[in-house]
Amino acid sequence: MTKEIIHKNTTELSETEFGTLTPLASRALFWRAHYMVSSPVLNQLPFIFWLIENTRPNVTVTLGLDDAVAHFAICQATEKLGMEAMCFGIQASEAETAGEDAPNLQAVLDYNDRLYSDFSQIIQTDHASAAEYFQDTEIDFLTVTQPATQALLDEIDRHWLPRMSERGVILFTHGGAKANYMAYIHNISHNRGVFTLDPVNGTCVVLHGEKQNDRLQRLAKLKIGKPGYLSVRNIFTRLGELHSKADLLERKTREAAENRRLLEQKADEITAYEKKFSDIQGKTAKLADQMKHAATEATENQVAVFELRETATAQTKTATEQAIALTNATEETATWKLKVDETGASLAAVTLELNTARQKTDIQTTEIEGLKARLKTAEHEIDRLHKTFAEHDETLTERYSDIATLGLEMDKTTKERDILAQERDTARKDLDIRTAELEEHKERITALETSTSWRVTAPLRSIRRLSGGHK
């Protein structure tokens, strides 16, 4: 279905607009970015790759590294195209960012040093000082990765525009306040052209320099609401969505791995609780045996007391001895009762601890069930994203094949048109030569007929004709 829509939009373009679309059949559109962090610029990466491929800048400058996706996309394209270019990233000094959240600049520096240190440099200073690193008309490609406030536009106007080259291009990735921003954009373009990739957010590229190649000029002629604009914009944005979805898939995969780790951790905790619960059950059984033994001894003592009482009744003579024995037995019974009470208290404490452990086990079981459900949901989401990603890869392959085929057909048509034009020019030259020769012959005949010798020999020609007729 996507292939049919792309083909329909392409076939509806006029020849001029098709000429703009043909350069889009570029492998740069299908590069996969190496630097992937959550950013709205991910949707713009195919557009940035295409711009670098077609502008071939010698010096690029990126203003703002809070979002470094654009800078590293430029570095990746520079390296992949084998260009001898220098890329500079400008990060405002701490004084300029006071009161704002500081970006994770160290991670950006480490990534730059690891992959692109041969041709990419990070400069940490204010705009005025950073601009001093460059000569006038030296910068070919300027990227602004921050919302274009009035203060930032003033800095660009004061420090960076004088250093743009005659083929300079300016890319705004985050747009700005509508009123001042759009007026400023059209002012610095000097009517050389602006292409708006995202009308809502204000993402656009400005052809600032006076010498721009044919592809950029044709791209800038595509305006919102005009034929061809939507088709070209959709190619860039739909390819850009793949980068965002790839980043989402990677984040979901990391979340699933973290959920698995938490699940394993909770399983280990439950195992530990189960072991502790087993130990408590063992202690409880041991205390129950002790309590049973104490109860048995208490029963035996009670029997002994009863026998002593019977003996005291039967044997009046030994009443004093039996009374003493009874007293001793009573004290011993009291001691055993105390032991039984203590055993009961211990058992109650063990039972309370057992109940607490069971409650914790229930809570852990509930958490595990929740984690299992979340893991299952995440796995379903990952499967769905994998399928979507595969479908988009297949669509990309078909789309690239169609675009490449259309490009070949356009090249063939262009060559045939050039051959016909050459043959037409040759025919015109031959016609001009024959026309000149005819005019020359006419002039010679006219001159001959008006000459004196022609008039003098007229009678002779008449006699010859008469003689010929007579014969």
Q: Does domain 253-382 have CATH number 1.10.287?
A: yes
Residue spans per domain, the chain: 31-227, 253-382
State residue 179's pLDDT score.
Answer: 67
| Rounded average pLDDT over 210-236 | 89
State residue 204's pLDDT score.
Answer: 93
- The gap from C-alpha 419 to its chain's centroid, in whole angstroms, comes to 46
pLDDT in tens, 386-433: 787 677 777 777 777 777 787 787 778 778 888 888 888 888 888 888
State residue 73's pLDDT score.
Answer: 95
Residue among 102, 92, 158 at smallest CA distance from 124: 92
| Rounded average pLDDT over 67-89 | 95
State residue 406's pLDDT score.
Answer: 76
Q: Which residue has the higher pLDDT, 376 or 323?
A: 376
Q: Are 207 and 169 in contact (CB under 8 A)?
A: yes
Task: Using pLDDT thresholds of 50, 70 and 90, give the confidence band for residue 6.
Answer: very low
| Rounded average pLDDT over 351-366 | 79
- What is the number of other CB atoms lying within 10 angstroms of the CB of residue 292? 11
Residue among 165, 158, 156, 153 at smallest CA distance from 210: 165
Enter the CATH code of domain 31-227.
Answer: 3.40.50.150
Task: Using pLDDT thresholds of 50, 70 and 90, give the confidence band for residue 9.
Answer: very low
Rounded Cα gap, residues 455 and 448, in angstroms: 9
User: Can you count the helices (H) and strands (E) in the chain?
Assistant: 13, 7
Provide CB contacts within 8 A for 343, sequence distance 6+: 287, 290, 291, 294
pTM for this structure? 0.55
Helix (H, G, I), strand (E, B) or coil at 237: helix
Q: In whole numbers, what is the pLDDT of the chain averaged over residues?
A: 81
